[in-house]
Amino acid sequence: MQEQHKIGIPTDFKVGSEPIYRSLINQRYNWNTLMVQADKIHAQGIYGDGVKWGIVDSGYIEHPDLLKLPQTQIVTVEFPDPTDNNGHGTHARGIVEMQVNDAGFIGIAPKGIPHIAKGLGGDGSGSPYFIAKCIDILVEKGCKVINLSLGSDSDSPELTKAINNAFDNGCLCVCAAGNSGGKVIHPARLSKAVAVAAVDGNKVVADFSCKGKEIDVAAPGVGILSTWIDGEYRPATGTSMAAPHVTGILVLFCEMFNNEHKRFPTPQEMIDYLHANAQDLGIEGIDTESGYGLALAIDINGQEQKPLTEKCTLLNLLKRIFS
């Protein structure tokens, strides 16, 4: 049965009012992509090639720095028209997907295969029931990672079931922790989702970033330049921007892992990879602001699998038992 309450873009999401023109930007990495070390993985020839990933957000629109149809797959459930008339989804998508071409910025996983599901309307809100349906379809289409830069203070049984089902079927949902500075929002607080906090350019956790024992890792989320629905770029701030960094990192990891093991990693192996390779921030060890620390893209090819060590798995188990 469809729920009455809405879920949507985390409160206090901020976007710049003036565009940053693509014609003025020579192809380069922005500071946030360098901070998570995606450029080092790209230097190894890893760009997320062949990895299906999904995003449930405000929809799809063409942009010169993003993949077009049919390279991009579209999913609609509640909204027949997939057009992004909000901008939030296009911005989040660009952090992962911005292409290697002659202008603009380079995303974290530009050769991944994006699947765009419109679960939020122009006002930035949507039904948890239909968002859950979007997740189910993305899992059926073979997505290994799904970005959810959305949330609510209220729990949704349908959304919880969809995220748990995704996990049990080889797909991990990466969620924005929330922007109120208070408790981690739903669905980020679920044990089978990854909760992402936001840091600024100095690797300091933002005041607005929600906090709690549910936080897994942190990523850049302050003043992030990415694609906008006017065909240019805009800076935006929020944990909505932090989550796609982690989504992109996991798309890269999926390609690396598949190259090494001839299979994609399980959701638990993805979580272990994030936890084991994060750069500790703030208070030493796991904390309620940044979790295991700053998420980093770390090369695994030809190396013993650090993410699957006994220490990492035990830390993760203890965290989830007591969360």
Q: Is the pTM of this model over 0.95?
A: no
For residue 41, tell me if it sits in a domain. Answer: yes
Amino acid at 26: N
Q: CA 188 to CA 141: how far, in whole Å?
A: 23
* 288 found inside a domain: yes
pLDDT at 20: 61
Q: Which residues participate in catalysis according to the annotation?
A: 57, 88, 240
Is pLDDT of 115 > 80? yes
Condensed to tens digits (0 to 9), the pLDDT of residues 270-299 reads: 999 999 999 999 889 999 999 999 999 999
Strand order in the sheet with 193-199: 73-76, 113-118, 52-57, 145-148, 172-176, 193-199, 215-220
Domain that holds residue 269: 7-321
| Number of folded domains that form the chain | 1
In-domain check, residue 73: yes
Q: What is the CATH number of the domain that holds 157?
A: 3.40.50.200
- Residue pLDDT, tens place only, 40-71: 999 999 999 999 999 999 999 999 999 999 99
In a domain, 82, yes or no: yes
231 Cβ contact list (under 8 Å, min separation 6): 22, 63, 64
Residue 269 maps to a domain: yes
2 part of a folded domain:
no
Lowest-confidence pick of 46-50, 96-100, 206-210, 314-318 = 314-318
| Closest residue by Cα to residue 198 from 294, 113, 118 | 294
Give the other-Cβ count within 10 Å of 141's Cβ. 15
